[in-house]
């Protein structure tokens, strides 16, 4: 029998999801910089600080002590204990090591959970704006993202009525972040309590609470939705060291969930990665059990920059934005500039505005379309005060040129 040679083909799965717009903008910025152009990066999704010294020392010690073998898939027992202690210390939440799974970043934790709970055709409710990866992971798992738009008037937060209306018999999961990337919204305890009332009536719905920006909070204490006993078993907390400890490159995330969900995530992870980097895990124990002063200092600096960037954005006409209560982004609505032109080029949407700002003003930002809010752009203040001031000046001047 003779076979006709077909061209090689990649999987159809690849067609179902997009590459992260945040990483794409960072790459475009790097390319311009390589050509010698002075690009100011306000698309950054990571703290611009170095990892605190005591954590770096712990990583070096782990290398010298030969922590170089495969770790347990769910994480070293003493790290899982340290994570439980962190939950008690910071959130007054009781978890046991059997509830914890450590992974290679919060992103992988999210992937584990979504693959563990979402079946083909299951609906996953995601309030917009949302972090770019949520909808794409749901699509990879064969689920259906159900995006609920919120508005600047509600500070980009979802109400109980909107949540209730979105729930169908196919709803499997609800997925949100507080503090939110990109809007900076932070849900108060009362606002969470209202959502909890709805979830209490639907005990079959899982809730992913992404709390990776927990320490970068400008308004008070972090409130976790897992504090409500009536739904605690439904909640899967996702957190990690990337943002609060300036450890993005170390790649360490973790979840806290009921033991059955934790076991399921461990099973998935056992096939994908065999667990998180051993050196990073040893360093994470030190990060999580030490004084939080370095994290607080970073948040203090983000607070200063937030004040300044809010002042600077208010000086740019027609760039309304909600006041961020956490994380390190502002998310102005730039739709006033849609339809305006720079020479022959018409700004059709936020993507065009971002490309215009990159190529004309040499400032990188991220289109709101990627976050499910196409009228906005995301501007990060995880950069020095001087870069923020120069970047915002360039944005102001570039937008003023659009006619
Ligand atoms: N969740 C949110 C809301 C984020 O903004 C990010 C990173 O930008 C992550 C999760 C992923 O974090 P990690 O570096 O731990 O994978």
**What is the set of domains in the chain, with CATH numbers?**
12-50+294-400 (3.90.1150.10), 53-289 (3.40.640.10)
Here the tokens at position 355 are 């490309």
Closest atom of ligand 1 to 327 CA is 5
- Is 131's C-beta closer than 6 angstroms to any atom of ligand 1? yes
- The DSSP bridge partners found for residue 239 are 254
CA-CA distances (angstroms) from residue 220 to 92, 153, 325?
A: 15, 21, 9
pLDDT for 122: 98
- Is 240's C-beta closer than 6 angstroms to any atom of ligand 1? yes
Beta-carbon neighbour count of residue 17 at 10 Å?
14
pLDDT for 1: 62
C-beta separation of 252 from 280 below 8 A = yes
Closest atom of ligand 1 to 131 CA is 3
pLDDT for 150: 97
C-beta separation of 366 from 377 below 8 A = yes
- Is 326's C-beta closer than 6 angstroms to any atom of ligand 1? no
Cα–Cα dist 81/100, whole Å: 9
pLDDT for 26: 84
- Is 177's C-beta closer than 6 angstroms to any atom of ligand 1? yes
Closest atom of ligand 1 to 107 CA is 16
- The DSSP bridge partners found for residue 376 are 333
Distance between the two ends of the chain, CA-based, in angstroms?
Answer: 67
- Is 47's C-beta closer than 6 angstroms to any atom of ligand 1? no
Secondary structure E strands in 308-373:
329-330, 341-342, 345-346, 363-364, 366-367
C-beta separation of 240 from 111 below 8 A = no
- Is 214's C-beta closer than 6 angstroms to any atom of ligand 1? no
Ligand 1 pocket: which of 178, 181, 186, 239 to mutate (most atoms <8 Å of CB)? 181
Chain centroid offset of residue 78 CA? 26
Ranges of the chain whose pLDDT falls below 70:
1
Strand, coil or helix: 310: helix
- Is 176's C-beta closer than 6 angstroms to any atom of ligand 1? no
Cα–Cα dist 209/176, whole Å: 6
Ligand 1 centroid to 251 CA: how many Å? 10
Which is it for the CA torsion 59, 100, 110, 265, positive or negative?
Answer: positive
């Amino acid at each position: 029998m003779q076979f006709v040679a077909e061209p090689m083909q990649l999987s159809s799965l690849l067609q179902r999801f997009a590459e992260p717009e945040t990483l794409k903008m960072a790459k475009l910025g790097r390319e311009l910089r390589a050509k010698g152009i002075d690009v100011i990066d306000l698309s950054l999704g990571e703290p611009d600080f170095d990892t605190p010294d005591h954590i770096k020392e712990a990583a070096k010690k782990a290398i010298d002590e030969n922590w170089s073998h495969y770790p347990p898939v769910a994480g070293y027992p003493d790290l899982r204990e340290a994570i439980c202690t962190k939950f008690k210390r910071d959130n007054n939440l009781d978890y046991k090591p059997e509830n914890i799974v450590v992974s290679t970043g919060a992103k992988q934790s999210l992937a584990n959970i979504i693959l563990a709970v979402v079946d083909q055709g299951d609906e996953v409710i995601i309030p917009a704006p949302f972090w770019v990866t949520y909808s794409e992971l749901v699509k990879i798992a064969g689920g259906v993202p159900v995006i609920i738009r919120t508005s600047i008037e509600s500070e980009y937060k979802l109400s109980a009525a909107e949540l209730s209306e979105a729930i169908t018999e196919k709803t499997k999961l609800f997925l949100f972040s507080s503090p939110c990337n990109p809007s900076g919204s932070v849900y108060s305890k009362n606002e969470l309590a209202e959502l909890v009332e709805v979830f209490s009536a639907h005990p079959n719905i899982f809730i992913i609470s992404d709390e990776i920006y927990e320490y970068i909070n400008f308004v008070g204490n972090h409130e976790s939705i897992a504090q409500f006993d009536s739904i605690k078993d439904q909640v899967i907390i996702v957190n990690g060291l990337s943002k609060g400890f300036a450890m993005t490159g170390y790649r360490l995330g973790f979840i806290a969930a009921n033991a059955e969900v934790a076991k399921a995530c461990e099973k998935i992870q056992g096939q994908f990665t065999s667990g998180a980097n051993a050196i990073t895990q040893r360093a994470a124990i030190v990060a999580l059990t030490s004084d939080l002063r370095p994290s607080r200092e970073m948040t203090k600096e983000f607070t200063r920059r937030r004040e300044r960037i809010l002042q600077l954005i208010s000086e740019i006409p027609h760039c309304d934005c909600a006041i961020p209560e956490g994380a390190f982004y502002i998310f102005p609505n730039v739709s006033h500039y849609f339809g305006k032109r720079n020479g022959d080029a018409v700004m059709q949407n936020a993507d065009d505005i971002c490309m215009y700002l990159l190529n004309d003003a040499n400032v990188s930002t991220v289109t709101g379309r990627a976050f499910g809010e196409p009228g906005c752009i995301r501007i990060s203040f995880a950069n020095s005060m001087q870069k923020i001031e120069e970047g915002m000046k360039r944005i102001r001047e570039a937008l003023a040129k659009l006619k």
